[in-house]
Structure 1
Amino acid sequence: MSTPTLTALAVRWRRGAGSRPGAVLRTLLRGAAGAAAAVAAAGLHRAHDPGVLCPLRLITGVPCPVCGSTTVFIEAGQGHWAAALGANPVTVAAAVGLLFAPLGPGHRWSALPADRRNTLIAIALAAAWVWQLERLGISRP
Protein backbone atom coordinates (compact mmCIF):
# COMPACT_ATOMS: atom_id res chain seq x y z
CA MET A 1 0.00 0.00 0.00
CA SER A 2 1.53 3.33 -1.02
CA THR A 3 1.22 6.63 0.76
CA PRO A 4 -0.74 9.24 -1.22
CA THR A 5 1.33 12.08 -2.58
CA LEU A 6 0.67 15.67 -1.64
CA THR A 7 -0.77 16.33 -5.11
CA ALA A 8 -3.14 13.37 -4.83
CA LEU A 9 -4.27 14.58 -1.42
CA ALA A 10 -4.84 18.09 -2.78
CA VAL A 11 -6.92 16.76 -5.70
CA ARG A 12 -8.96 14.55 -3.35
CA TRP A 13 -9.41 17.50 -0.96
CA ARG A 14 -10.69 19.73 -3.78
CA ARG A 15 -13.08 17.09 -5.12
CA GLY A 16 -14.45 15.61 -1.94
CA ALA A 17 -13.66 16.94 1.48
CA GLY A 18 -12.35 20.19 0.00
CA SER A 19 -15.76 21.11 -1.28
CA ARG A 20 -17.13 20.44 2.22
CA PRO A 21 -15.54 23.51 3.88
CA GLY A 22 -16.67 25.63 0.93
CA ALA A 23 -20.17 24.22 1.16
CA VAL A 24 -20.23 24.83 4.91
CA LEU A 25 -19.13 28.44 4.41
CA ARG A 26 -21.73 28.98 1.67
CA THR A 27 -24.41 27.44 3.89
CA LEU A 28 -23.44 29.72 6.78
CA LEU A 29 -23.47 32.77 4.51
CA ARG A 30 -26.82 31.77 3.01
CA GLY A 31 -28.25 31.25 6.51
CA ALA A 32 -26.90 34.61 7.67
CA ALA A 33 -28.39 36.36 4.63
CA GLY A 34 -31.75 34.67 5.22
CA ALA A 35 -31.66 35.62 8.91
CA ALA A 36 -30.83 39.24 8.06
CA ALA A 37 -33.69 39.35 5.53
CA ALA A 38 -36.08 37.86 8.11
CA VAL A 39 -35.06 40.44 10.73
CA ALA A 40 -35.52 43.26 8.19
CA ALA A 41 -38.91 41.89 7.10
CA ALA A 42 -40.00 41.59 10.74
CA GLY A 43 -39.07 45.25 11.28
CA LEU A 44 -41.05 46.30 8.22
CA HIS A 45 -43.97 44.16 9.35
CA ARG A 46 -43.99 45.88 12.76
CA ALA A 47 -44.12 49.27 11.05
CA HIS A 48 -46.75 48.29 8.47
CA ASP A 49 -48.81 45.09 8.67
CA PRO A 50 -50.32 44.46 5.22
CA GLY A 51 -52.77 41.84 6.54
CA VAL A 52 -53.54 38.65 4.64
CA LEU A 53 -51.29 38.22 1.62
CA CYS A 54 -52.59 34.89 0.27
CA PRO A 55 -54.94 35.61 -2.68
CA LEU A 56 -56.90 32.37 -2.15
CA ARG A 57 -57.47 33.09 1.54
CA LEU A 58 -58.23 36.75 0.84
CA ILE A 59 -60.92 35.91 -1.74
CA THR A 60 -62.40 32.67 -0.38
CA GLY A 61 -61.36 32.60 3.27
CA VAL A 62 -59.79 29.17 2.68
CA PRO A 63 -56.03 28.94 3.18
CA CYS A 64 -53.71 27.40 0.64
CA PRO A 65 -51.12 24.75 1.63
CA VAL A 66 -48.34 27.35 1.84
CA CYS A 67 -50.36 29.83 3.89
CA GLY A 68 -48.37 30.83 6.91
CA SER A 69 -45.06 30.89 5.05
CA THR A 70 -44.77 34.67 5.32
CA THR A 71 -45.69 34.36 8.99
CA VAL A 72 -42.91 31.79 9.42
CA PHE A 73 -40.45 34.30 7.96
CA ILE A 74 -41.71 37.19 10.13
CA GLU A 75 -41.85 35.14 13.36
CA ALA A 76 -38.36 33.75 12.76
CA GLY A 77 -37.11 37.30 12.19
CA GLN A 78 -38.53 38.29 15.56
CA GLY A 79 -36.95 35.26 17.23
CA HIS A 80 -40.28 33.56 17.95
CA TRP A 81 -39.24 30.07 16.88
CA ALA A 82 -42.25 28.20 18.31
CA ALA A 83 -44.66 30.62 16.60
CA ALA A 84 -42.75 30.21 13.32
CA LEU A 85 -42.99 26.44 13.58
CA GLY A 86 -46.68 26.66 14.47
CA ALA A 87 -47.46 28.88 11.48
CA ASN A 88 -46.39 26.24 8.95
CA PRO A 89 -44.10 23.35 9.98
CA VAL A 90 -43.76 22.18 6.37
CA THR A 91 -42.34 25.56 5.35
CA VAL A 92 -39.85 25.40 8.23
CA ALA A 93 -38.81 21.87 7.21
CA ALA A 94 -38.45 22.93 3.56
CA ALA A 95 -36.37 25.98 4.51
CA VAL A 96 -34.06 23.91 6.71
CA GLY A 97 -33.79 21.28 3.97
CA LEU A 98 -32.90 23.88 1.34
CA LEU A 99 -30.40 25.54 3.65
CA PHE A 100 -28.53 22.31 4.38
CA ALA A 101 -29.00 20.64 0.96
CA PRO A 102 -25.46 21.41 -0.26
CA LEU A 103 -24.00 19.59 2.74
CA GLY A 104 -25.36 16.23 1.64
CA PRO A 105 -29.16 15.91 1.89
CA GLY A 106 -29.57 17.52 -1.53
CA HIS A 107 -27.69 14.65 -3.18
CA ARG A 108 -29.95 12.10 -1.53
CA TRP A 109 -33.04 14.05 -2.66
CA SER A 110 -31.71 14.27 -6.23
CA ALA A 111 -31.03 10.53 -6.24
CA LEU A 112 -34.70 9.74 -5.57
CA PRO A 113 -36.82 8.86 -8.61
CA ALA A 114 -38.99 11.76 -9.81
CA ASP A 115 -42.24 9.98 -8.96
CA ARG A 116 -41.09 9.42 -5.36
CA ARG A 117 -40.05 13.09 -5.02
CA ASN A 118 -43.42 14.20 -6.42
CA THR A 119 -45.25 11.89 -4.04
CA LEU A 120 -43.32 13.25 -1.05
CA ILE A 121 -44.03 16.82 -2.13
CA ALA A 122 -47.74 16.03 -2.56
CA ILE A 123 -47.86 14.44 0.92
CA ALA A 124 -46.09 17.46 2.43
CA LEU A 125 -48.50 19.88 0.73
CA ALA A 126 -51.53 17.85 1.87
CA ALA A 127 -50.20 17.78 5.44
CA ALA A 128 -49.54 21.53 5.29
CA TRP A 129 -53.06 22.20 4.03
CA VAL A 130 -54.64 20.10 6.79
CA TRP A 131 -52.43 21.96 9.28
CA GLN A 132 -53.60 25.34 7.94
CA LEU A 133 -57.27 24.34 7.96
CA GLU A 134 -56.94 23.24 11.59
CA ARG A 135 -54.79 26.21 12.63
CA LEU A 136 -57.27 28.71 11.25
CA GLY A 137 -60.30 26.81 12.56
CA ILE A 138 -61.78 26.11 9.13
CA SER A 139 -62.02 22.34 9.59
CA ARG A 140 -64.32 22.77 12.58
CA PRO A 141 -68.11 22.96 12.07
Structure 2
Amino acid sequence: MAVAAVGVSWIHRLHDPGVLCPLRALTGLPCPLCGGTTVFIESGAGHPVRGALANPLALTGAAAVALAPLGLGGRWWALQPKTRARMLGAALVGSELWQLVRFGVLRV
Protein backbone atom coordinates (compact mmCIF):
# COMPACT_ATOMS: atom_id res chain seq x y z
CA MET A 1 0.00 0.00 0.00
CA ALA A 2 2.87 2.37 0.79
CA VAL A 3 4.46 1.71 -2.60
CA ALA A 4 1.11 2.33 -4.30
CA ALA A 5 0.68 5.60 -2.38
CA VAL A 6 4.10 6.83 -3.47
CA GLY A 7 3.36 5.76 -7.06
CA VAL A 8 -0.02 7.54 -7.11
CA SER A 9 1.58 10.67 -5.65
CA TRP A 10 4.28 10.64 -8.33
CA ILE A 11 1.77 10.11 -11.15
CA HIS A 12 -0.47 12.86 -9.76
CA ARG A 13 2.44 15.32 -9.80
CA LEU A 14 3.01 14.61 -13.48
CA HIS A 15 -0.64 14.64 -14.50
CA ASP A 16 -3.41 16.05 -12.32
CA PRO A 17 -6.64 14.46 -13.60
CA GLY A 18 -8.84 16.98 -11.78
CA VAL A 19 -12.01 15.97 -9.95
CA LEU A 20 -12.52 12.20 -10.11
CA CYS A 21 -15.81 12.00 -8.18
CA PRO A 22 -18.79 11.94 -10.58
CA LEU A 23 -21.17 13.39 -7.96
CA ARG A 24 -18.83 16.28 -7.19
CA ALA A 25 -18.12 16.89 -10.88
CA LEU A 26 -21.87 17.08 -11.67
CA THR A 27 -23.24 18.82 -8.58
CA GLY A 28 -20.27 20.39 -6.82
CA LEU A 29 -21.19 18.42 -3.69
CA PRO A 30 -18.74 15.86 -2.33
CA CYS A 31 -19.70 12.24 -1.74
CA PRO A 32 -18.71 10.31 1.42
CA LEU A 33 -15.73 8.84 -0.43
CA CYS A 34 -14.43 12.18 -1.76
CA GLY A 35 -10.85 12.65 -0.68
CA GLY A 36 -10.06 8.94 -0.92
CA THR A 37 -7.52 9.49 -3.66
CA THR A 38 -6.16 12.52 -1.81
CA VAL A 39 -5.46 10.31 1.22
CA PHE A 40 -3.01 8.26 -0.81
CA ILE A 41 -1.57 11.21 -2.76
CA GLU A 42 -0.82 13.18 0.40
CA SER A 43 0.42 10.15 2.32
CA GLY A 44 2.65 9.13 -0.57
CA ALA A 45 4.01 12.67 -0.79
CA GLY A 46 5.01 12.51 2.88
CA HIS A 47 2.06 14.45 4.32
CA PRO A 48 0.18 11.82 6.39
CA VAL A 49 -1.79 14.34 8.48
CA ARG A 50 -3.12 16.12 5.39
CA GLY A 51 -3.97 12.71 3.96
CA ALA A 52 -5.82 11.64 7.10
CA LEU A 53 -7.80 14.89 7.15
CA ALA A 54 -8.86 14.46 3.51
CA ASN A 55 -10.96 11.41 4.32
CA PRO A 56 -10.62 9.56 7.64
CA LEU A 57 -13.05 6.88 6.41
CA ALA A 58 -10.88 6.00 3.41
CA LEU A 59 -7.80 5.84 5.61
CA THR A 60 -9.60 3.64 8.15
CA GLY A 61 -10.90 1.40 5.36
CA ALA A 62 -7.42 1.00 3.88
CA ALA A 63 -6.01 0.15 7.31
CA ALA A 64 -8.82 -2.37 7.88
CA VAL A 65 -8.10 -4.07 4.56
CA ALA A 66 -4.38 -4.18 5.36
CA LEU A 67 -5.00 -5.62 8.85
CA ALA A 68 -7.77 -8.05 7.89
CA PRO A 69 -5.39 -10.97 7.31
CA LEU A 70 -4.19 -10.61 10.91
CA GLY A 71 -7.58 -11.73 12.19
CA LEU A 72 -9.51 -8.45 12.33
CA GLY A 73 -11.52 -9.42 9.25
CA GLY A 74 -12.96 -12.37 11.15
CA ARG A 75 -14.28 -10.07 13.85
CA TRP A 76 -16.07 -7.96 11.23
CA TRP A 77 -17.74 -10.95 9.57
CA ALA A 78 -18.71 -12.38 12.98
CA LEU A 79 -21.01 -9.38 13.52
CA GLN A 80 -24.67 -9.67 12.63
CA PRO A 81 -25.49 -8.36 9.12
CA LYS A 82 -27.75 -5.64 10.56
CA THR A 83 -24.95 -4.50 12.86
CA ARG A 84 -22.50 -4.31 9.97
CA ALA A 85 -25.03 -2.37 7.88
CA ARG A 86 -25.65 0.11 10.70
CA MET A 87 -21.94 0.59 11.29
CA LEU A 88 -21.30 1.17 7.58
CA GLY A 89 -24.28 3.52 7.34
CA ALA A 90 -23.10 5.55 10.33
CA ALA A 91 -19.57 5.70 8.88
CA LEU A 92 -20.88 6.92 5.51
CA VAL A 93 -23.12 9.56 7.10
CA GLY A 94 -20.24 10.73 9.28
CA SER A 95 -17.94 10.83 6.27
CA GLU A 96 -20.45 12.82 4.24
CA LEU A 97 -20.77 15.37 7.04
CA TRP A 98 -16.97 15.54 7.26
CA GLN A 99 -16.72 16.20 3.52
CA LEU A 100 -19.48 18.84 3.58
CA VAL A 101 -17.60 20.71 6.31
CA ARG A 102 -14.24 20.20 4.58
CA PHE A 103 -15.55 21.66 1.33
CA GLY A 104 -17.29 24.54 3.13
CA VAL A 105 -20.84 23.47 2.31
CA LEU A 106 -21.66 23.18 6.04
CA ARG A 107 -20.19 25.40 8.72
CA VAL A 108 -19.64 24.31 12.29
TM-score where L is the length of structure 1: 0.74
RMSD: 0.8
For the residues of structure 1 that align with 2:82 and 2:69, how far apart are their CA atoms? Answer: 22
* Residue in 1 that maps onto 2:15: 48
What code does the residue aligned with 1:71 have?
T
Structure (1 or 2) with the larger CA radius of gyration: 1
Equivalent residue for 2:103? Answer: 136
One-letter identity of the residue aligned with 1:91: A
Cα distance per residue 1:49-108 (max 9 Å; x no partner): 111110100110000000000101111111210001000001111111111011121111
Q: Distance in 2 between matches of 1:43 and 1:95?
A: 19
Q: What are the equivalent positions in structure 2 for 1:92-111 lying under 5 Å apart?
A: 92-111=59-78
| Alpha-carbon separation, structure 1, partners of 2:46 and 2:56 | 16
Identity fraction in percent:
50
Write out aligned runs for 1:1-141 (5 A): 34-140=1-107
Q: Distance in 2 between matches of 1:98 and 1:78?
A: 21
- Measure the CA separation in 2 of the matches of 1:40 and 1:108: 32
Q: How many residues align?
A: 107
Query: 5+ residue gaps in structure 1?
Result: 1-33
Q: Which runs of 5+ in 2 are unaligned?
A: none
Amino acid at match of 1:70: T
CA distance in 1, matches of 2:101, 2:15: 27
SS of equivalent to 1:128: helix
User: What per-residue deviation string (whole Å, max 9, x for no partner) do you get for residues 89-137 of structure 1?
Assistant: 0111111111101112111111000110010000000000000000000
Q: For residues 85 and 135 of structure 1, what CA distance do their matches in structure 2 show?
A: 12
Q: Which runs of 4+ in 1 moved over 2 A?
A: none
Query: Deviations for 1:13-71, whole angstroms, at most 9, x for unmatched residues?
Result: xxxxxxxxxxxxxxxxxxxxx11111111011111111111010011000000000010
